Structure 1
Amino acid sequence: MISESLLIQYGAIRISIKKTEILFNESDKAKNFYQMYSGEIKMHNFNDDGKEFIQGIFTTGDSFGEPPLLINKKYPANATAIIDSEVYALKRDSFIKLLQLNPEVNLQITTALAQRLYFKSIMASEISSQEPEHRIIKLIDYFKETINKTTVDEKYQVDLTRQQIADFTGLRVETVIRAIKSLEKKKLLYINKGKVFR
């Protein structure tokens, strides 16, 4: 999102984190702006029963963790590497200065935050009231159209694991597996060599 040269100009450093390593914990004070250089990082919580709920998965070029940084609060979720990853970290004061002096970047960040808020609103509605199949289709369509920018007519390979789909939708993995098989029978998606397509 923000060019590497601009991040470096404002003092960003690139850090490496190994698979399963935690970048920050829920309730840590937000101190840095983070942008993915490579790899995958998830922001996630655990409920009282220990069930994981994924807030978002971030890949190359994505930024994350901005809301608590902008309002000077603690993180509402953990950030953990799904695979070996590298991220840019930029101190809060430098990030604020970058936004003030670069209005086009400020607009990009605002747009990205609006997309995430839109997704959370959709998923909150789905989780509270919809059947598992409907939740799964809504999640896949969001990733297809918004994250991967795939058109409605194009086939999209779902990059999420069954576990990740469960963690996004508040379902059990077994329920996700059954729902995906049912959706395939209804020809709303198809499976080829274990991969889900829509």
Structure 2
Amino acid sequence: MINEEELFSFGADLKTYGPDDLIFSEGEVPCFFFLISKGKIKLNNYNEGGKEFIQGIFSRGQSVGLSSLFTEKAYPVNAVAVEGSEIIRLSKAQYFQFLKQHPEKYFTIIQCLSEHMHYKFLMMQSMAFQKPAQKLLTLMTYLKDHHHDKSEDVIQILLTRQQLASLTGLSVETVIRVIKSMEKEGILKIQNRKIFY
């Protein structure tokens, strides 16, 4: 999205997070632009019963919490490291100064936010109308369509059963049952517990 060295030249720092470390929490006021340099970050919420709902999982080169910087509103989600991660952090004031000096970066921001909205619309439609198998297919098709190497006919779904459940609002048991059924139908393959679609 943005060259890391450009961010460092504006005073950014590099923060290291371990698995399950909190980057920011729901209700917190945005103070930084975050760019993932290494690892994976999930955006999540919890319902009253403590069940996690994952809003999205992001990796190297992607930003988290970007829309909240522009709305002047508190974060509506938590950002949590899925694995050991490194994040470049630039203060909000410096980030806006960076954009003033590099207005061409606004197009990249619009692309990023539009992609995130597209994903949200797909998943909202999936949640509202579709059966469990269709919810999983919607998610896996999205991941396949946005895979960096479009020449591959089959990709490995790099998400756990728990993450698939949390992303689709299903229980883990339902995800396991539906994936087995999809394998029997030839929709996907399971090799060494890994899902290929």
TM-score normalised per structure 1: 0.96
Q: For 2:188, give the aligned amino acid.
A: L
**One-letter amino acid of the counterpart of residue 129, structure 1:** F
Identity %: 37
| Per-residue deviation, 1:149 | 3.2
SS of corresponding position for 1:188: coil
Secondary structure at 2:120 match in 1: helix
Whole-angstrom distance in 2 between the partners of 1:10 and 1:73: 24
Report what 1:23 is aligned to.
23
What is the CA RMSD across the aligned residues, in angstroms?
A: 1.2
| Residue in 2 that maps onto 1:48 | 48
Q: 5+ unaligned residues in a row in structure 2: which ranges?
A: none
Matched, 1:168 2:167: yes
Count of residue correspondences: 197
Q: Secondary structure at the match of 1:103?
A: coil
- 1:121-177 CA distance string (max 9 Å, x none): 11001011100001101101111112x234386110000110000000000000000
Deviation, 1:103, is: 2.6
Q: Which residue of 2 aligns with 1:63?
A: 63
- In the alignment, is the contact (CA less than 8 A) between 1:132 and 1:179 conserved in 2? yes
Counterparts of 2:177 and 2:80, CA distance in 1: 28
Corresponding residue of 1:149: 148
Q: Contact 1:144 / 1:150 at 8 angstroms: preserved in 2?
A: no
CA contact (8 A) 2:64 2:79 kept: no
State the alpha-carbon separation in 1 of the partners of residues 124 and 151 from structure 2. Answer: 23
Matches within 5 A, 1:1-198: 1-146=1-146, 148-151=147-150, 154-198=153-197
| Counterpart code for 2:5 | S
Could you say what secondary structure the match of 1:80 adopts?
strand
**Cα shift readout 1:57-80 (whole Å, capped 9, x = no counterpart):** 111111110111111111000111
**What displacement does 1:5 show?**
1.3
Deviation at 1:104, TM superposition (A): 2.5
